[in-house]
């Protein structure tokens, strides 16, 4: 009789435990894949699929487990950031249109970090005035340091609420607003702070404008 009572109590406890666990699971948030949004605050957005593939070596596929973003050059504290360390910074959102020299454009909700937040952590030394970006496929381009700071330029890891796909620059693409598309470097792996104002990147060394300003012809000095 005593054994039967113990058995019944044990069964009751087991059933109760299963019920409690089931109810607990119902309260937990299950993270699903993000869905691309096509409108933001009343503004229509382009699709991630509206981009045309025109990179110099095709899409690059980067494993963020081993990824490091090197910030170096004329700085007091050079640093190699992991992917997680980068995205742990304060995030920002902007709707910005990319204009390609080929004649097409896309308007996207970008989300990322202020590139200047990373730069100031490394403490640029006096005289530093130019920032060179280098990519996994050996693409490169440069900007005045003031441009990145004053325009609050972001390095994006999301497009339209979804993680940037490899074809579009995962893990990071620079959102170089007011610049032609060739300045929007993808697959960023290195940021070099320098005083070399005459540095010319991949397309700039082939005759494209070094400033890349939208209000100017992209061919030129």
Compute the average pLDDT of residues 153-179.
97
Q: Please say if the pLDDT value at position 148 is more than 60.
A: yes
Q: Please say if the pLDDT value at position 6 is more than 80.
A: no
- What is the chain's alpha carbon radius of gyration, rounded to the nearest angstrom? 24
CB-CB neighbours of 217 under 10 Å: 10
> Element (H or E) spanning 94, and its range?
strand 91-99
> For domain 39-206, which architecture applies?
Alpha-Beta Complex (3.90)
CB-CB neighbours of 175 under 10 Å: 22
Q: Tell me if 109 sits within 8 A of 37, measured CB to CB.
A: yes
- The domain locations on the chain are 39-206
> What average pLDDT is seen over the chain?
89
What's the predicted TM-score (pTM) here? 0.83
């Amino acid at each position: 009789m005593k054994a039967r009572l113990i058995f019944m109590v044990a069964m009751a406890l087991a059933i109760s435990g299963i019920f409690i666990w089931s109810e607990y699971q119902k309260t937990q948030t299950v993270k699903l894949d993000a869905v691309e949004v096509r409108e933001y605050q009343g503004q229509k957005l382009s699709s991630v699929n509206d981009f045309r593939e025109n990179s110099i070596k095709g899409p690059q596929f980067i494993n963020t487990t081993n990824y490091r973003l090197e910030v170096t050059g004329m700085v007091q504290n050079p640093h190699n950031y992991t992917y997680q360390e980068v995205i742990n910074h304060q995030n920002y959102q902007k709707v910005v249109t990319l204009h390609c020299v080929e004649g097409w454009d896309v308007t996207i909700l970008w989300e990322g970090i202020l590139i200047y937040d990373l730069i100031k952590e490394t403490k640029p030394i006096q005289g530093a005035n130019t920032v060179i970006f280098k990519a996994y496929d050996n693409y490169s381009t440069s900007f005045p340091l003031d441009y990145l700071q004053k325009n609050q330029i972001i390095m994006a890891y999301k497009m339209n609420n979804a993680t940037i796909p490899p074809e579009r620059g995962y893990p990071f693409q620079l959102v170089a607003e007011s610049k032609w598309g060739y300045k929007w470097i993808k697959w960023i792996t290195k940021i070099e702070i320098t005083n070399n104002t005459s540095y010319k990147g991949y397309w700039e060394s082939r005759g494209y404008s070094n400033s890349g300003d939208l209000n100017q012809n992209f061919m030129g000095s």
